[in-house]
Amino acid sequence: MGTRVLVRQVRAEDAARFVELAGLSSGLHRPWVNLPASAEEFREYLARFDQVAAVGMVVCRREGGDLAGTVNINRIVRGSYQRGVLGYAAFLPFAGRGYLTEGVGLAVRYAFEQLKLHRVEADIQPGNAASIKLVRRLGFRREGFSPGFIKIDGVWRDHERWALTSEDEHVY
Ligand SMILES: CC(C)(COP(=O)(O)OP(=O)(O)OC[C@H]1O[C@@H](n2cnc3c(N)ncnc32)[C@H](O)[C@@H]1OP(=O)(O)O)[C@@H](O)C(=O)NCCC(=O)NCCS
Confidence of residue 172 (pLDDT cuts 50, 70, 90): low
Residue 131 in contact with ligand 1 by CB distance below 6 A? yes
Full DSSP string of the chain: ---SEEEEE--GGGHHHHHHHHHHTHHHHTTT-----SHHHHHHHHHT--SSS-EEEEEEETTT--EEEEEEEEEEE-TTT-EEEEEEEE-TTSTTSSHHHHHHHHHHHHHHHTS--SEEEEEE-TT-HHHHHHHHHTT-EEEEEEEEEEEETTEEEEEEEEEEETTS----
Q: Report CA(69)–ligand 1 centroid distance (Å).
A: 10
Residue 95 in contact with ligand 1 by CB distance below 6 A? yes
Predicted confidence at residue 169, as pLDDT, reads: 74
More confidently predicted of 169 and 47 = 47
Domains of the chain: 5-165 (3.40.630.30)
Nearest-CA residue for atom 19 of ligand 1: 97
Confidence of residue 171 (pLDDT cuts 50, 70, 90): low
Predicted confidence at residue 69, as pLDDT, reads: 98
Render pLDDT for 112-162 as a digit per residue (tens, 0 to 9): 999 999 999 999 999 999 999 999 999 999 999 999 999 988 999 999 999
Question: Which atom of ligand 1 is least distant from the CA of 95?
Answer: 7
Predicted confidence at residue 2, as pLDDT, reads: 56
Mutate to test the pocket of ligand 1, among 5, 21, 88 (most ligand atoms within 8 A of CB): 88
Span 25-49, mean pLDDT?
Answer: 96
Residue 150 in contact with ligand 1 by CB distance below 6 A? no
Predicted confidence at residue 97, as pLDDT, reads: 96
Q: pTM of this prediction?
A: 0.96
Render pLDDT for 53-108 as a digit per residue (tens, 0 to 9): 999 999 999 999 999 999 999 999 999 999 999 999 999 999 999 999 999 999 99
